[in-house]
Structure formats: C-alpha cells, structure tokens
Structure 1
C-alpha cells in the first residue's frame, strides 16, 4: 500500500529593514494575497550610495519550536560579487536557497550594481515546490532571514515568514 502525503507552503509575513538610512531605503516590502490560492512577495530597496562593488550576505533558516530556533542552515557568502558572477562555482546548498528568490529579481549579474535592487512577485507556488518536492522539509513555521552586509556591517534585513503544512 502506497501512502501519498501532500504538503503546502504559504507565506505568512515579510519584514524589511535598513540598518543605515544613508545607504538605503525600502520603497516597498509586502506580501500580497490575490485570492485564496495565489500569494506573492515583492521587495524593492533603493540604494543611495552607488556603485556597489562588493558585498556579502548571511542566510539563516529558522523553525518555530516554542520560539524561532536555528534550523539546519546558517551560512555567509563572503564575496557576493563572485557568487553572483560565477553560477558554476556556487555551493549547492547556497544555490538552492538563492534560487528561492533569485529568478524573480534583478541581481543575477556581476558587480558593480548601479541600480536599485528588487524582487518581484515571488509566488507561494515556487517556494512550495522547492520545500515539498525538490527537497522535502518537515511541517512547521519557518523564517528565512537574510542580512546583507557592506564592508562587514549589516545594511539590510529581510525576514520572510511561512508555514509548511
């Protein structure tokens, strides 16, 4: 007898914050629910000090266990320009998580960045596929926490919350 299990991911919230208002500001950061089955996230950060020639970012996956606790992954990509500029050199785990949002944004090129950064209409279905079919995760509430760093100092914080049921 074969048992079939169906899981479904849903966004529950998104929060964005700039650590240094002189460096950047969020034009928008929202979760939009079009109907019961279609939700998406859109984020746009305006960069005030251009060009960006080097950056790094830290990614932490959290899972709620009586409060959010680190879950499996916590990594820092020290040279963001190298990471974005050479897709073949990417660590498979880092690539897996970057591909959650990367295809929906304008940061898929080498440095320098002479423009604002956006991620447009990341659908729940894309994240659902990655967390249930590509690499199945256990049910629960998750937080995808990304901190962008310039010269080692936190610049922006983006927190995406969701539930896998």
Structure 2
C-alpha cells in the first residue's frame, strides 16, 4: 500500500505546448516576425514569439483571455473575460487567472512594466510548467488558451497557445 502511494506521489505530469498560432489583423500596427515552437529537449517544447510594434508608443491595450477545451472540437471552457491590460500590469494580483498567465509569460518575456510600450514584444523559450497552474488545476485533456489584444477598441492581435495536459 505504501509503495502505491509513493508511486502516485512521484508521478510527474507530461504537460506541454503542442501548437501555436499568431495573427495580426492590422499589419500596419504590428507584425509577428517569430511565432514558433522549439523542441529544446525530450518532451520539452518552448514558445518563441517576436511582435514587431510598428505604431509606438502604445498606451491603450485591452485584452480578452479565454480557455477552450477540446472534445470533438474546441469548446469554450471555464474562462472568457476581458480587461484593461495596462491596469492589469499596474496591479497584477488583482485577478486570479490573468495573474497566472501573466506571471508565466513574464518569466521569459519583456512584458514586465506598465504602459506605454515603445518597443517590440519578445517571448523567448517559454516552457509550460505545471507550477503555472498550481491554483488552477486543469483535468487532463487538450486545451487552447486564446489571447486577443485591442487598442482603441479594435482587435489587432491574436495568439493561440495549444496545451496537452497529461497526468
């Protein structure tokens, strides 16, 4: 009985990124120079994104966060909300889900200050870590996290990150 409990406790999750899609609906505002997954080790996949901002400074950013779960197709799951991104950066621990995603992104990016943004946005070798979800446990399955960004109430950028969560 103790051996079974020890094996259950030692079991590691094999969650990882499986796909990444980036879209700029206004190429005069920003473009994606890099949007790819890198395999950096056995079963370890990292996200690399480079967004070249063409109209700076940016001081008005609105974001829509949503989680989708795959059944036969991706269906809305658990969360879909919008907020002022500049205010969130000023007070990052105000909203739980956004704080989790933002903290994960900030470990490997230059999105670490409040608005205005007058430089490109870089996410470099971001690896999915189960510690990112310590307060939001997701059951095993396939998920999509969709981030949509707007300025002046017009959607400009979309980033979709696909995750496979296995136990």
TM surpasses 0.5: yes
Counterpart among 111, 129, 151 of residue 131 in structure 2 = 129
Report how far residue 93 of structure 1 moved. 2.4
Report how far residue 110 of structure 1 moved. 1.5
Count of equivalent residues: 160
Report how far residue 130 of structure 1 moved. 2.5
Is residue 26 of structure 2 the alignment partner of residue 25 of structure 1? no
Asked if 1 retains the 8 angstrom alpha-carbon contact of 2:24 and 2:158, the reply is: yes
Asked if 1 retains the 8 angstrom alpha-carbon contact of 2:16 and 2:43, the reply is: no
Q: In the aligned structure 1, how far is the partner of 2:45 from the partner of 2:78?
A: 26
CA displacement, residues 44-75 of structure 1 (integer Å, 9 cap, x when unaligned): 10011010011110011000011000110111
- Structure-2 residue corresponding to 1:85: 90
Please list every run of at least 4 consecutive aligned residues from structure 1 whose deviation after the TM superposition is greater than 6 angstroms.
none
Report how far residue 35 of structure 1 moved. 2.6
Q: In the aligned structure 2, how far is the partner of 1:66 from the partner of 1:19?
A: 28
Report how far residue 134 of structure 1 moved. 4.4
Counterpart among 21, 26, 30 of residue 15 in structure 1 = 21
- Structure-1 residue corresponding to 2:141: 140
Q: Which runs of 5+ in 1 are unaligned?
A: none
Counterpart among 67, 71, 75 of residue 61 in structure 1 = 67
Q: In the aligned structure 2, how far is the partner of 1:14 from the partner of 1:82?
A: 27
Equivalent position SS for 1:60: strand
Equivalent position SS for 1:87: coil
Higher Cα radius of gyration: 2
Q: Which runs of 5+ in 2 are unaligned?
A: none
CA displacement, residues 105-149 of structure 1 (integer Å, 9 cap, x when unaligned): 11111111110111111013x2x3324x54321010000100011
Q: In the aligned structure 1, how far is the partner of 2:97 from the partner of 2:159?
A: 19
Could you state the TM-score of these two structures normalised by the residue count of structure 2? 0.88
Could you state the TM-score of these two structures normalised by the residue count of structure 1? 0.89
Give the CA RMSD over aligned residues. 1.6
